[in-house]
Structure 1
Amino acid sequence: MNHHNAPQEEPAEHLRFAAYLSELEQVSDADEADLVSEVLTDPDQTMARSAVLWHLDRRATDIHPGPAYEPWAEWMTHVTVRHPFLARRLQEWSLFRAITLGQPWSRDALLESSDWLQLKTAAGPNTEAVEVLAEHGRTKRIRNTARINLKQSSPPSAASQHIHKS
């Protein structure tokens, strides 16, 4: 019997993951916390947390600059409180929001944050945060990303401005 040509069934957790992503993408704001809570009761906790992480990142990306972010993050923090990785991601989104919007933020909190947040911040618009990461980012990739960002965002020197005007 040739197993190479037999169609392979999608594992049940893959099907549930895809279904969760679809449901989370379409959920109303009013039902979001209940759905996230329901997903987090799945017996495959790794898959469930991955689906919720995907959702949190998508939602935070969409709303972090606006006023809807703070109440949403507070509510999602309550829902994810028993899931340290998800709770930390929400804290890091709040730190990223503060840095991006020029609100008060802690240098120590940035330097203690995950590689994910440091890399995201290193590519961002806050020059002070980028300078901190160019010097003290946890990995070479983070430091290089920050240095490249600083070079690309720095104004041209007076000599090059003069050349361009001629």
Structure 2
Amino acid sequence: MHGGSETTEEVPVEHLRFGRYLQELADVLPEDEAGLVRTVLRDPDKTMAQSAVVRHLDRRAAQLLSDAAFPGWSDALSTVIVDREFLVHRLREWTLLRSIAINDSWSAEDLLAASDWFQRTAAQVLTSSAALHLLADEGRTRRVRAAARRRLAEQHR
């Protein structure tokens, strides 16, 4: 016998499924990814399922940001998430981030109209001086403006 009382708290099943989904999505082969995302989004806990998919989407998009595979991946995923407004919006913002990252066409209006999440992410990952200057001057929050200024300073070292 051990001294004191020991309690074992059960992990809620949706937490277990969430962890399993994240692992399966991390390990999925590219050709099976859309099907797995579709399966996850069918989970009865819609909030948990969407959370798992957005984490996966963020991780994969970051990995593929300047990769030639991004457009095909984005197209395949967009057909699966078409009825999930938040996921569609997040993928659209990753596509804008990619356009800036690879020096494709983008507009100041799109950058400044993008979500706080987008502007924070852009200030952390972009190297485009034009985009960083825009965020440093007109970013929505003080945090975004400061992060963009830091990135610009790092580039000039």
If the TM-score is normalised by the length of the shorter chain, which range does it land in?
over 0.9
Q: Note the C-alpha offset of 1:18.
A: 0.7
The alignment partner of 1:25 has SS state of helix
Question: Which of residues 147, 150, 153 is equivalent to 2:152?
Answer: 150
- In the alignment, the residues of structure 2 paired with residue 152 and residue 27 of structure 1 have an alpha-carbon distance, to the nearest angstrom, of 36
Cα displacement string for residues 5-64 of structure 1 (whole angstroms, at most 9, x for unaligned residues): 310000010000011111111111121111101100111111101110111111111112
Unpaired runs of 5+ residues, structure 2, are none
Output the amino acid matched with 1:154. H
User: Corresponding residue for 1:104?
Assistant: 105
Determine helix, strand or coil for the equivalent of 1:82. Answer: coil
Moved over 4 A (4+): none
Q: What is residue 39 of structure 1 aligned with on the other side?
A: 40
Structure 1 stretches of 5 or more lacking a match? 156-166
Mapped to 1, the partners of 2:121 and 2:36 lie a distance apart of 28
Give the structure 2 partner of residue 26 of structure 1. 27
The residue aligned with 1:122 is 123
Structure ID, larger Rg: 1
Output the CA distance in 2 between the equivalents of 1:56 and 1:151: 30
Match of 1:63 in 2: 64
Alignment RMSD (CA, Å):
1.2
Q: TM-score, normalised by structure 2?
A: 0.92
Percent identity of paired positions between Structure 1 and Structure 2: 44
* DSSP 3-state at the match of 1:6: coil
Letter in 2 for 1:150: L
What is the number of equivalent residue pairs in this alignment? 152
Aligned partners of 1:29, 1:148: CA distance in 2, in Å?
35
Larger RCO of the pair (alpha carbons < 8 Å, separation 6+): 2
Deviations 1:105-134, CA, capped at 9 Å, x for gaps: 011111111111111212320000001111
The separation in 1 between residues aligned to 2:153 and 2:23, in whole angstroms, is 40
Q: CA deviation at 1:78?
A: 1.0
Shifted more, 29-38 versus 145-154: the winner is 145-154
